[in-house]
Amino acid sequence: MEAFDHTHYVTTFPFSYPFATNNTTTTTISPWMDSRIWSKLPQRLVDRIIAFLPPPAFFRARSVCKRWYSLLFSHTFLQMYVQINPKPYFFIFFKQKTTQPKTTTTTTTIFKTITTTAADNVVPQEGYIFDPETLSWHRLVFPLIPHGFSPTCSSGGLICWVSDEAGSKGLLLSNPLFSSLVTPLPSTLRPRLFPSVGVTITNSSIDVMVAGDDMISPYAVKNLTTESFHVDFGGFYSIWGTTSSLPRLCSLESGRMVYVQHQGGSAGKFYCMNYSPFSVLGYDMSRNEWCKIQAPMRRFLRSPSLIESKGKLVLLAAVEKSKLNVPRSLRMWALQSCGATWVEIERMPQQLYAQFTELEGGRGFTCVGNGEFVVVMIMGTAAEKALLFDFGRKRWVWIPPCPYVSGGGGGIELNGFAYEPRLATPVTGLLDQLSTLNNPF
């Protein structure tokens, strides 16, 4: 296991990469950086280079001159940025507090979590961005998110927030890089308690699905229906107009939805874990259909999670059974293109798994994936104990503790999502038009 110094990974917003160097070292200017050459670059080429910068470097570059500072407000630059900017693989985490279980009319007892901040949300919501390339943490504040909303998922550079109150659910979309940009969605039609929410946002469309926890009375919920929302630049709107029934006897306890745009051009699907027994549920929005997929080694899984990795659905779980002929381990399986077969693609080294289980102590763990990276966070430790796996380098490393979160006491944990920071998301303009149509005066 690699050892590293945690101290130089602490950064603050505005973003800055932790270029830790020895201050006594004399800097030598390479002839390749001769200002007589670089000062003659055409301005449009300079703008194109800046558009490739990841957000931390971009916000630092804005301090160079007035023109670079104003690029954030340039329509021409933002249009080019949307077309060419590479999407870095980040993660964003929020504090959450585990609530007491809520007993329903079904035979299951559902555990739910709500987001919380200090002094019961008296202070603004905070988020903590983790950069897996530099193992650095950044803190963001969301001053305009109203009390009573919790983050539920992320897509297209936006965070989706859902109202905590029972009833028709209100949803908000916000860009973490610009706390002043908060866009509301129309409320759902059916009353729900803590439904599972999935969102996928592209440069030309927004799709949202809300499933389960239908309120069949003021005191009971049941997983019955799905509602979906769609809007695109082609002029098609479906404002919670499409509904479908959930599979019988499904249990969506985790509340997590993962969207996978499958390779080969086929339609994407939302996926979530189904419990008692373990299986995977898939929802095809284009067909308005649910399907059930049998999980691998389902009788021996512990703390299963679904993640998306480069167009594939990956199931990650601990495999533990005393009578198995194989050692206990943490494994990953990828769903094949046929949609029914799983293939094991990775397994945590045995020595590391022994250390991991000792720290975990049976409390369970959660996983979130983005691109080449997977974060495995031990529950009840408030980001003090977490592992990062890099698919590209085939490497496991311990993540430095988040410097903005105190110890894991009091039931405080971190809930995380894949996050791709973006300076602009043009499709949100459709929601402004939709709001104008609904409220013409």
Token pair 């549920």 is found at 281
Number of CB atoms found within 10 A of residue 34's CB:
10
As a whole number, mean pLDDT of residues 89-109 equals: 59
172 Cβ partners below 8 Å, 6+ apart?
Answer: 145, 149, 160, 161, 182, 183, 184, 185
Tokens of 332: 């990953």
As a whole number, mean pLDDT of residues 67-74 equals: 85
Lowest mean pLDDT, pick from 83-92, 333-342, 409-418: 409-418
- Give 355-392 pLDDT, tens digit per residue: 999 988 888 899 999 999 999 999 876 556 899 999 99
Among 20, 23, 16, 25, which residue's Cα sits nearest to residue 7?
20
Query: How large is the angle between the packed helices 43-51 and 75-84, nearest 10 degrees?
Result: 50
As a whole number, mean pLDDT of residues 414-441 equals: 75
As a whole number, mean pLDDT of residues 48-59 equals: 83
| % of the chain exceeding 70 in pLDDT | 80
Lowest mean pLDDT, pick from 140-149, 228-237, 307-316, 382-391: 382-391
Residue 8: per-residue pLDDT: 30
Q: Has residue 272 got a pLDDT over 90?
A: yes
As a whole number, mean pLDDT of residues 92-116 equals: 50
121 Cβ partners below 8 Å, 6+ apart?
Answer: 147, 148
Residue 97: per-residue pLDDT: 61
Lowest mean pLDDT, pick from 189-203, 264-278, 293-307, 346-360: 264-278
Q: Has residue 15 got a pLDDT over 60?
A: no
As a whole number, mean pLDDT of residues 88-114 equals: 56
Residue 382: per-residue pLDDT: 57
- Determine the distance from the C-alpha atom of residue 106 to the mean position of all C-alpha atoms in its chain, rounded to a whole number: 30
Please provide the average confidence, as pLDDT, over all residues in the chain.
80
CA 66 vs CA 41, 49, 63, 285: distances in Å: 18, 17, 8, 45
Residue 7: per-residue pLDDT: 30
Residue 35: per-residue pLDDT: 74
Q: Has residue 344 got a pLDDT over 80?
A: yes
CB-based burial label for 111 (10 Å; 0-12, 13-18, 19+): middle
Q: Has residue 397 got a pLDDT over 60?
A: yes
Higher pLDDT, 191 or 13: 191
Q: What order do you get walking across the sheet with 196-201 strand by strand? A: 196-201, 205-211, 225-232, 237-245
Token pair 């495995």 is found at 376
Among 41, 17, 233, which residue's Cα sits nearest to residue 135?
17
- The pLDDT confidence band at residue 113, using thresholds 50, 70 and 90, is very low
As a whole number, mean pLDDT of residues 241-261 equals: 85
Residue 436: per-residue pLDDT: 59
As a whole number, mean pLDDT of residues 204-216 equals: 91
Number of CB atoms found within 10 A of residue 139's CB:
16
CA atoms within 13 A on the CB side of 52: 5
Query: CB–CB of 128/137 below 8 Å?
Result: yes
As a whole number, mean pLDDT of residues 39-65 equals: 84
Residue 159: per-residue pLDDT: 94
pTM (2 d.p.): 0.81
